[in-house]
Chains A and B, each alone.
Chain A
């Protein structure tokens, strides 16, 4: 695939790069290429926006206060565990 073609059409590669650039170090030239691609590609711009929204909702979903309410250990487990501890003492 030649360079220009990749720059214009490689949504797959650039979407991954967009995710990566939010967390990890990405070389300057790659950042520029990403900016260029996103500027001309509505689909990728859309993906990045949606991805940010998903991040935002996931953050709320996994916040420490939320997390205990979404999955709880059974009472049975707690009783068994307490018994084990009392034997250890």
Chain B
């Protein structure tokens, strides 16, 4: 007797929101996220014979969705060539946050930003989370999709690199830039000081 069983009559009620938000944060477009969820349900239904009961329904459906997302990025050119993107934007990024002497040190304005630590409870407060959401939305889509992959599922670096077709070193550059932009946005809102 398998540990878990499938009951597709409850899939939409039980998992549509979860799968949608998972997809939405990764692809950033509502319509595309809905399409992905729909494809996931249909594929899952077609492949229901292959479900062996070792994982929960939710985990199983999420795994199917993940594969759909990988296909989505491969097929569409949403992310374009991320390596080109990084090279094209390098100068403006470095110019905004790093010293012009190319030594790699932070620029003057960053150096003034010594912060006082925020309380743990504040970081998970509704107010902070609201601004976090605003700042995440402001992040360029190319950076956001990679950045969120890391945080939404705690996927391994190698898997994310594979998914987006980037090298680990470019991956870390993207995570870094995302963090700097996020920090900059939160600082501007007076939240991280």
Q: List A residues at the B interface (Cβ < 8 Å).
A: 1, 5-6, 9-13, 15-16, 19-20, 23-24, 42-44, 46-47, 49-51, 53-62, 64, 66-68, 70-74, 77-78, 81-82, 84-85, 88
Q: Which residues of chain B are near A71, meaning CB under 8 Å? A: 17, 20-21, 24-25
Contact of A1 with B103 in the complex, beta carbons under 8 Å: yes
Partner of B110, one of A20, A43, A56, A60: A43
Query: Which 7 residue pairs of A and B lie closest in terms of their CB atoms, listed nearest first?
Result: A10-B104, A71-B21, A73-B20, A12-B104, A60-B124, A9-B103, A57-B123
Q: List B residues at the A interface (Cβ < 8 Å).
A: 8-9, 11-13, 16-22, 24-25, 34, 37-38, 41-42, 45, 94, 98, 103-106, 110-111, 113-115, 117-118, 120, 123-124, 128-129, 132-133, 151-152, 157, 168, 172-173, 175-176, 179, 182-183, 186, 192
Contact of A73 with B37 in the complex, beta carbons under 8 Å: yes
Given A50-B115, A58-B132, CB of A23 within 8 Å of CB of B157: yes
Contact of A77 with B16 in the complex, beta carbons under 8 Å: yes
Given A43-B111, A71-B20, CB of A58 within 8 Å of CB of B151: yes
Per DSSP, are chain A's interface residues mostly helix, strand or loop, or mixed?
helix
State the CA gap A66–B8 with chains docked (Å).
24
State the CA gap A39–B18 with chains docked (Å).
43
Contact of A60 with B123 in the complex, beta carbons under 8 Å: yes
| Shortest distance from the beta carbon of A74 to any chain B beta carbon, whole Å | 8
Q: 25 A-B residue contacts at CB 8 Å?
A: A9-B103, A9-B104, A16-B176, A19-B176, A20-B172, A24-B157, A42-B111, A43-B110, A44-B106, A50-B192, A54-B179, A58-B132, A59-B151, A60-B123, A61-B132, A64-B18, A67-B21, A72-B17, A73-B19, A73-B34, A73-B37, A78-B12, A81-B37, A81-B38, A85-B8
